Amino acid sequence: MDSIVVTGNGPLSGQVPIAGAKNACLALMPAALLTEEPLTLTNAPRLSDIRTMSALLASLGCEAAPLQGGRVLALSGHGLTGHVAHYDIVRKMRASILVLGPLLAREGAAVVSLPGGCAIGARPVDLHLRALEALGAEMELAEGYVHASAPTGGLRGGRIEFPFVSVGATENALMAATLARGTSVIENAACEPEIVDLARCLRAMGARIAGEGTNRIEVEGVERLGGATHRVVADRIELGTYMLAPAICGGEVECLGGGLELLPGFAETLDAAGVTLRETAGGIAVARGEGRIRAVDVATAPYPGFPTDLQAQMMALLCLADGVSVLEERIFENRFMHAPELMRMGARIEVQGGTATVTGVERLKGAPVMATDLRASVSLILAALAAEGETRVNRVYHLDRGYEDVEAKLSAIGARIERVSE
**Per DSSP, what are the bridge partners of residue 218?**
185, 210
pLDDT at 91: 86
Rounded mean pLDDT of 230-248? 98
CB-CB contact of 32 with 65 (8 Å): no
What is the C-alpha R_g of the chain?
21
The single-letter DSSP state of residue 151 is: P
pLDDT at 173: 98
Does the annotation list 22 as a binding residue?
Answer: yes
Does the annotation list 309 as a binding residue?
Answer: yes
Whether residues 215 and 283 share a domain: the answer is: no
The single-letter DSSP state of residue 255 is: E
Provide the domain count of the chain. Answer: 2
pLDDT at 123: 46
Whether residues 251 and 205 share a domain: the answer is: no
Whether residues 167 and 241 share a domain: the answer is: no
Residue 67 belongs to domain with CATH number: 3.65.10.10
Does the annotation list 49 as a binding residue?
Answer: no
Does the annotation list 2 as a binding residue?
Answer: no
Does the annotation list 246 as a binding residue?
Answer: no
Whether residues 75 and 167 share a domain: the answer is: yes
Res. 120: pLDDT tops 70:
no
Distances (CA, A) of 250 to 9, 132, 292, 324: 11, 48, 10, 20
Distances (CA, A) of 273 to 1, 222, 305, 327: 37, 48, 16, 14
Does the annotation list 126 as a binding residue?
Answer: yes
Task: Give me the percent of the chain exceeding a pLDDT of 70.
Answer: 98
Q: Which residue has the higher pLDDT, 92 or 203?
A: 203
- Which residue type sits at 309? D
Kindly list the catalytic residues: 118
Does the annotation list 409 as a binding residue?
Answer: no
Residue 153 dihedral angles phi and psi, to the nearest 5°:
95, -5
Between strands 63-67 and 38-42, the pairing is unpaired
Does the annotation list 94 as a binding residue?
Answer: yes
Final residue in a domain of this structure, among 231, 257, 281: 231
Whether residues 246 and 140 share a domain: the answer is: no
Report residue 117's pLDDT band, with 50, 70 and 90 as the boundaries: very low
Report residue 1's pLDDT band, with 50, 70 and 90 as the boundaries: confident
What number of CA atoms fall less than 13 Å from residue 358's CA on the CB side?
Answer: 33
Whether residues 382 and 286 share a domain: the answer is: yes
- The helix (H) or strand (E) run that includes residue 90 is helix 87-90
Res. 333: pLDDT tops 80:
no
Whether residues 222 and 130 share a domain: the answer is: yes
CB-CB contact of 210 with 323 (8 Å): no
Q: What is the spatial distance between Cα 386 and Cα 399, in angstroms, rounded to a whole number? A: 19
- Domain with 369, as residue range(s), is 2-18+235-421
Final residue in a domain of this structure, among 207, 231, 255: 231
Whether residues 274 and 260 share a domain: the answer is: yes
Whether residues 267 and 182 share a domain: the answer is: no
Report residue 118's pLDDT band, with 50, 70 and 90 as the boundaries: very low
What number of CA atoms fall less than 13 Å from residue 319's CA on the CB side?
Answer: 34
Whether residues 171 and 272 share a domain: the answer is: no
Per-residue pLDDT tens digits for 290-309? 889 999 999 999 999 999 99
Final residue in a domain of this structure, among 231, 249, 276: 231
Threshold 0.85, pTM exceeds: yes
- 242-263 burial by CB neighbour count: b if 16+ within 10 A, else e? bbbbbbbbbbbbbbbbbbbebb
Burial class (CB in 10 A: 0-12, 13-18, 19+), 18: buried
Whether residues 139 and 218 share a domain: the answer is: yes
CB-CB contact of 297 with 304 (8 Å): no
Whether residues 61 and 159 share a domain: the answer is: yes
